[in-house]
Structure 1
């Protein structure tokens, strides 16, 4: 039992379960709330009641194939390259309140960073951007739309699961005369479920999640992005109670078309499949557990989106007094 508690504490005590720290990826301009790989390893585990802080450092480099066009703020562009370096600052509160036997929690995320976009050709309506010869490119340090999340998490033996909903509020620094934005400038909702099976006796963890993303209209461009489904899978092996390695897979697919007066590309539905790996390590600083995780995924099958490589570095820790020894999800719920 003691080994079980130590392993679960290493996995869960520092998890800030947000469902929120997302970045631009699909639909209008290839941007969506969902990021492949985010809701993956250990995502079904809600930590014990308390306050947590998480920083997610995100890096993406990709390009749209030369034969494809995409739309950014009313301009149709080709030969598009995308780079993003961003950070997502998340505060999470897991309350002691219970709903149907599960702990209720809330999270708020603020994205900041430097998205960079360049295009080799303007197909239609060149409205903005810095023109260098026959190329357009743009970058700036920006504040994105805040994301609010609520979730409920349960635990029973080796099985942990949660349901949640996130909303991206269009109040960031959106620039309607620029190519690159961290703000979506549209209301986005995401409803998801996630589950984790963790057997401390063998150190094996299997996690999965699925969700439905609902997109509103960007009134600056009169563009309504389609809705989408997404799913993540992670299989990890704990080599010690602090160190694990694993496999990741993710899929995103629009199920309704883009529309609106500003849509110049018609039924522009995006999809992507990504695979990769992850490594995590947990250590203590002044008695407080610090959880770190690196994820790297490569998009292997893409339609109507840039194809590239995703890197995520997560650092999470509890705020206030460190979690008490054995204060695992199982212990909190009396299992």
Structure 2
């Protein structure tokens, strides 16, 4: 018997797909961070829900450190002995249009991050010396996305493009920023094999991020490659459990007068569990997903643990 039924149950699964959309990051690169949020893709990565308007909220938590004598460029200065924690809220609106381009369904989304990190450094090299700590709560750069999704049998695939719009609250010299103060774009391709008879989902994503120059610090982050994968099993149409992972590698050098540490190419990998549950509020399906990953094999970045608690729901769906 199929785990996936038509009408509202189908839309509930579609809400789970919304939870796989890419979003902006708080996480090498300047600050050891890229604007693409590693691990934001996962189960059902290539699915688009039916035409309509959807809302998703991601609560993102991160705790990491950079120990020893390793250094990191932070807002125009260089820091060592760094410890950081962050909480970022990422509300997103997704519009899946009724239009097709090259036979694929067309969709758009907008994410507006709010929140911020707490950063401590035992040594600052540059205009400041000695220990220092910064924290803030503010708004980051909005991220606009466009997606095309196709389907053939159990196989789904999609292409997506994202743009980081540098209008968030950014302060030069601050250790704690969630805005990047640079234009950046990301191109990604995703594939999902979803067998509705046994409830098995196998998904993968590969993408490349291109970065403009931070004119405040004269720092240009190099090009970044990210690869993500997920395997999930639906035990019922409401509940799934699985595993997710990602690998990140910077594939070109950082540059510019502000790149005081030279090429500073970053690398990181991560693995962890994920689970989702769909429930109804009235007749509206709401899908919740929890993801937790632990990073390893890290170079020129913070290493730590990241967690997401995500909720997605339809605001309007054409069910005809």
Give the TM-score of the pair, scaled to structure 1: 0.91
Structure 2 gap segments, 5+ residues each: none
User: Which secondary structure does the structure 2 equivalent of 1:265 belong to?
Assistant: coil
- C-alpha distance 171-20 of structure 1, shift in aligned 2 (>3 A): farther
User: Which secondary structure does the structure 1 equivalent of 2:13 belong to?
Assistant: helix
Q: Name the counterpart of 1:84.
A: 86
Structure 1 gap segments, 5+ residues each: 328-335
Kindly report which structure 2 residues correspond to 1:217-296, keeping only aligned pairs within 5 A, or say none. 217-296=213-292
The partner residue of 1:179 within 175, 180, 183 is: 175
Report the alpha carbon displacement of residue 122 of structure 1 after superposing the two structures with TM. Answer: 1.6
Query: Contact 1:25/1:35 (CA < 8 Å) preserved in 2?
Result: yes
| Count of aligned residue pairs for this structure pair | 318
Query: Contact 1:3/1:200 (CA < 8 Å) preserved in 2?
Result: yes
Query: Contact 1:17/1:92 (CA < 8 Å) preserved in 2?
Result: no
Q: Name the counterpart of 1:318.
A: 314
Report the alpha carbon displacement of residue 154 of structure 1 after superposing the two structures with TM. Answer: 1.0
User: Which secondary structure does the structure 2 equivalent of 1:12 belong to?
Assistant: helix
Kindly report which structure 2 residues correspond to 1:98-109, keeping only aligned pairs within 5 A, or say none. 98-109=100-111
Separation of aligned partners in 2, 1:162 and 1:58:
24
Report the alpha carbon displacement of residue 38 of structure 1 after superposing the two structures with TM. Answer: 0.8
Report the alpha carbon displacement of residue 75 of structure 1 after superposing the two structures with TM. Answer: 1.1
User: Which secondary structure does the structure 2 equivalent of 1:15 belong to?
Assistant: helix
Separation of aligned partners in 2, 1:82 and 1:9:
38
The partner residue of 1:142 within 138, 142, 150 is: 138
Q: Name the counterpart of 1:307.
A: 303
- C-alpha distance 8-207 of structure 1, shift in aligned 2 (>3 A): farther
Q: Name the counterpart of 2:52.
A: 50
User: Which secondary structure does the structure 1 equivalent of 2:37 belong to?
Assistant: coil
User: Which secondary structure does the structure 1 equivalent of 2:5 belong to?
Assistant: helix
CA RMSD of aligned residues (A): 1.7
Report the alpha carbon displacement of residue 33 of structure 1 after superposing the two structures with TM. Answer: 1.4
Report the alpha carbon displacement of residue 320 of structure 1 after superposing the two structures with TM. Answer: 3.0
Separation of aligned partners in 1, 2:312 and 2:15:
9
- C-alpha distance 104-18 of structure 1, shift in aligned 2 (>3 A): farther
The partner residue of 1:298 within 276, 294, 298 is: 294
Q: Residue deviations 1:263-282, cap 9 Å, x none?
A: 11011001100000100001
